[in-house]
Amino acid sequence: MRQFSLLTIFLMTTFCFAQKNEVYESQVWVADQGDGTYKNPIIHADYSDPDVTRAGNDYYMTASSFNAAPGLPILHSKDMVNWELINYALPLQVPVEHFNIPQHGNGVWAPSIRYHNNEFYIYWGDPDFGIYMVKTKDPAGAWEDPVLVMKAKGAIDPCPLWDEDEKAYLSVAWAGSRAGVKSILTMFKLSPDGTKVLDLGRHVFDGHEDHPTVEGTKMYKRNDYYYIFAPAGGVATGWQLILRSKNIYGPYEEKVVLEQGKTSVNGPHQGAWVETPQGEDWFYHFQDVDAYGRIVHLQPMDWRKDWPVMGKDNDGNGIGEPVMMHKKPKVGKTYTVETPKETDEFNGNGLGVQWQWNANPNILWHAKLPGKDYLRLFSMATPKEAKNLWEVPNLLLQKFPAPNFTVDTKITLIPEDAKQPRKAGLIVMGRDYATVTITQKEEVFYLQQTQAINADRGAEEITNEEIKLKDNQVFIKVEVVAPDAMCQFTYSENGKKFKKIGKPFKARVGKWIGAKVGLFSISTPEAKRGGYADVDYFRITK
């Protein structure tokens, strides 16, 4: 475990975790309307399965990160609407060796974050290994090494609850793909320190008849009732279910409290109940919007007869529907508009916190040195078994930030060895992907627009268009347009006049995640060493 701790320290430095920069305001999506109201989604990015906890006047959010590293993003807010991405609780996915190669769709599923005894705890399920926990006293600083709380195949979506009698419990759902059964919820006794499950568990709810695919448990206690907030009905088509009982093991009453209804917000569920110091109640949930991922909404919430009421009941059926605009939560003062960072000028001491790799990172993949206003990506040999970039670990990626946006970057390729081709470029990544790639052939530089349709099934990457460049640097853009996330690549050799290249490309989801956009620098499997690409900036604008 000591080795993991040293790597944690290194990665915290490399990614500038918890480094307080100037307030960042997106050019492409801002929820705060500046007049005391907000619009949904409050974050138009793939923070899947969000959970939120409050500590005093501060709010902290985490979300699923699946195979991406670092994992378990930590976002901070003072007013519940404006959020800053400040850190990651999991610098390396564990088991480390397993996640050193891309593990699409695996890794961190549906975490829960809780503030207990002046410490922050995050529990998550890895469907192949079991339930893990990390904790810290400072969410913007280093988190302790992960603890395997329960070894189990298919156990997912855990949530702890510490009761008044010092007893602790852990609710768990099950992934049918690994466990062989789903749509049931199980309660386990948990050690008071939160580090291990103490019994074999008891099932407390079966959703097969009325609430198929019930999962995503979040536990609370209020007015002597134990509550399990649980989504049901599927990611893109489901509803928010509430279970309550005065006995932790049930029997549980049930009530659907949030549904799509006649709104455009499909599958509104799986999130967090948060109570403000001023006594207001709010509910965070996600909406699945295909290539854009699972985006985060905030709903007003109230209590009636000890049942939560969310959103607005537009049709009078007793079930709330999501609102798209609302007054901001009352938190005692007005805070500056802020959004998770997107643009990176590469003029700091490390990578911006918005970046994640396609697998656990290696220190040799990049260099971001103090005083250098560019990012250097080394030309790493692709794995011999990789059929395309889907299986390449050193892809540097970030989430789609809005329905419509443009990415602008400048890349210079330094091959060092003309006999072994090097490639670097801009990529839109998902189960299908497309790139604009700068490469060299016999000391001549070319620009290629490529794509791989069904990359996740091993499809070959093909070149749609290739042009000869005057030298080894190029300006590249991709414009992404709603509603279908259509992407058009353009390029320029002088940074002023841009031309279209290749074909329009429709971005496609990854495995359980939205599409991503980012950078890569590679060489052939046969290349022994040498070569790199320098990236001057990576800007996201309208």
- Residue at 254: amino acid letter: E
Task: Please pick, among 32, 49, 321, 408, the residue that the annotation labels catalytic.
Answer: 49
How far does CA 437 lie from the centroid of its chain? 26
**Where does 118-203 have alpha helices with state H?**
176-179
CA distances from 306 to 21, 227, 272 (A): 43, 10, 17
**What is the distance between the alpha carbons of residues 495 and 490, in angstroms, rounded to a whole number?**
11
Task: Please pick, among 32, 215, 391, 536, the residue that the annotation labels catalytic.
Answer: 215
Give the pair of three-digit tokens for residue 273: 């109940």
In 386-512 the beta strands, taken as DSSP E runs, fall at 396-399, 405-414, 422-429, 433-441, 444-452, 462-468, 473-481, 486-492, 499-500, 505-506
Residue 49 near residue 38 (C-beta atoms within 8 A)? no
Residue 531 near residue 422 (C-beta atoms within 8 A)? yes
Q: Which residues pair with 190 in a beta bridge?
A: 168, 197
CA distances from 199 to 133, 134, 157, 196, 384 (A): 17, 21, 18, 9, 45
How far does CA 68 lie from the centroid of its chain? 8
Q: What is the DSSP string of 38-76?
A: EES-SB-S---S-EEEEETTEEEEE---BT-BSEEEEEE
Strand, helix or coil for residue 252? coil
**Cβ within 8 Å of residue 262, ≥6 positions away:** 314, 315, 321
The percent helix, strand, coil of the chain (3-state, each to 5) is: 5, 45, 50
Q: What are phi and psi of 376, to 5 degrees?
A: -105, 120
How far does CA 396 lie from the centroid of its chain? 14
**Cβ within 8 Å of residue 411, ≥6 positions away:** 424, 425, 426, 438, 473, 474, 476, 519, 533, 534, 535, 536
Q: What is the DSSP string of 104-120?
A: TT-SBEEEEEEEETTEE
Q: Is 290 a catalytic residue?
A: no
Q: Is 536 a catalytic residue?
A: no
Residues labelled as active-site residues: 49, 215
